[in-house]
């Protein structure tokens, strides 16, 4: 038994070095507050103001905010790190899977029934990055440096949903506002390392769509899928309302919770 454990440990050690250690190092370096995995200090899950604020965010009634309110940083850290967030995401995935079962294409169909999945904080989590930033304003340079490391953890419920959709006979397109030229290869590698495989295409923002809003860019992508390629978008999953609005949003949309940042 001891020899078997030693062999297994030796095999796992390189994986730990390649993925776990760089990720934890990033989380810990230059943090202005407690690391994301520490219990929240001076706040938490029962703050009435912060709970109301989060509900306003998820209902799309709070618009244009750039940072988490200072008094809610501990609350958001606790929500994201201590179980409730993952339970909420799992509930979204379960609802999406149940709907997919209802509208699944028949065997031998034309193969044009499709779903669209977002990347950031839908498939891949940026929680470690935003924790270090204390959920501050979006910094494109710092975020590009983080994303280029390709160490974003995968979100398990969304990995399960992707495989469920594929097993039901849907085509799955992963669409992100990340820049293809600078982040294309590392995003594909990160998705693969996080267990996201079997999707049909990763679609990223190219030169033609730079400077466009998220709604405009993702509408253009979906318009091409529907009008030029003939797909029927049965479902659309994203953490921002801007993922789910605009042209050809899909027969049904599913909002993944995200109180960390707002993308107009």
pLDDT in tens, 107-156: 999 999 999 999 999 999 999 999 999 898 889 999 999 999 999 999 99
pLDDT at 106 over 70: yes
Q: How confident is the model at residue 37 (pLDDT cuts 50, 70, 90)?
A: very low
Residues with Cβ < 8 Å from 158, sequence gap 6 or more?
89, 93, 117, 122, 123, 196, 237, 256
What are the φ and ψ backbone dihedral angles of 117, each rounded to 5 degrees?
-120, 135
Burial of 60 (0-12, 13-18, 19+ CB in 10 A): middle
The structure tokens listed for 138 are: 């979006």
Q: How confident is the model at residue 102 (pLDDT cuts 50, 70, 90)?
A: very high
CATH of the structural domain 48-255, one choice from 3.90.280.10, 3.30.70.100, 3.40.50.150, 3.40.50.1000 = 3.40.50.1000
Q: Could you report the per-residue pLDDT of 204-241, keeping only the tens digit for each?
A: 999 999 999 999 999 999 999 999 999 999 999 999 99
Residue with structure tokens 């924790």? 131
The structure tokens listed for 116 are: 């669209």
pLDDT at 36 over 60: no
pLDDT at 197 over 50: yes
Q: How confident is the model at residue 46 (pLDDT cuts 50, 70, 90)?
A: low
Can you give the pTM of this predicted structure? 0.84
State how far the Cα of 115 lies from the Cα of 141, in Å rounded to an integer: 31
Q: How confident is the model at residue 10 (pLDDT cuts 50, 70, 90)?
A: very low
Q: Mean pLDDT for the chain?
A: 87
DSSP lists the bridge partners of residue 236 as 116, 253
Coil, helix or strand for 115? strand
Question: Which of the pair, 224 or 45, is modelled with greater confidence?
Answer: 224
| Beta pairing class for 252-255 and 232-238 | parallel
pLDDT at 90 over 50: yes
pLDDT at 70 over 50: yes
State how far the Cα of 175 lies from the Cα of 209, in Å rounded to an integer: 13
Asked if 95 contacts 254 with a C-beta cutoff of 8 angstroms, the reply is yes
What are the φ and ψ backbone dihedral angles of 206, each rounded to 5 degrees?
-100, -175
């Amino acid at each position: 038994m001891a020899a078997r454990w030693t062999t297994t440990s030796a095999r796992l050690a390189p994986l730990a070095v390649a993925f776990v250690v760089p990720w934890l190092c990033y989380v810990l370096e230059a943090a202005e507050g407690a690391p994301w995995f520490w219990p929240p200090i001076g706040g938490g899950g029962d703050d009435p103001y912060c709970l109301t604020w989060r509900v306003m965010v998820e209902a799309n009634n709070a618009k244009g905010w750039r940072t988490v309110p200072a008094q809610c940083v501990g609350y958001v850290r606790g929500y994201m790190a201590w179980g409730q967030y993952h339970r909420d995401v799992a509930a979204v995935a379960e609802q999406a899977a149940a709907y997919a079962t209802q509208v699944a294409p028949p065997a031998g169909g034309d193969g044009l029934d499709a779903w669209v999945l977002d990347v950031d904080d839908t498939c891949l989590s940026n929680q470690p990055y935003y924790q270090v930033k204390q959920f501050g304003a979006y910094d494109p340079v710092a975020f590009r440096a983080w994303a280029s490391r390709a160490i974003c953890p995968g979100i398990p419920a969304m990995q399960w949903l992707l495989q469920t959709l594929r097993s039901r006979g849907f085509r799955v397109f992963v669409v992100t506002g990340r820049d293809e030229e600078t982040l294309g290869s590392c995003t594909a590698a990160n998705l693969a390392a996080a267990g996201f495989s079997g999707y049909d295409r990763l679609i990223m923002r190219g030169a033609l769509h730079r400077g466009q809003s998220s709604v405009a860019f993702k509408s253009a992508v979906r318009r091409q899928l529907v009008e030029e390629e003939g797909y029927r978008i049965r479902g659309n999953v994203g953490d921002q309302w801007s993922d789910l609005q605009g042209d050809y949003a899909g027969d049904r949309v599913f909002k993944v919770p995200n109180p960390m940042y707002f993308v107009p």
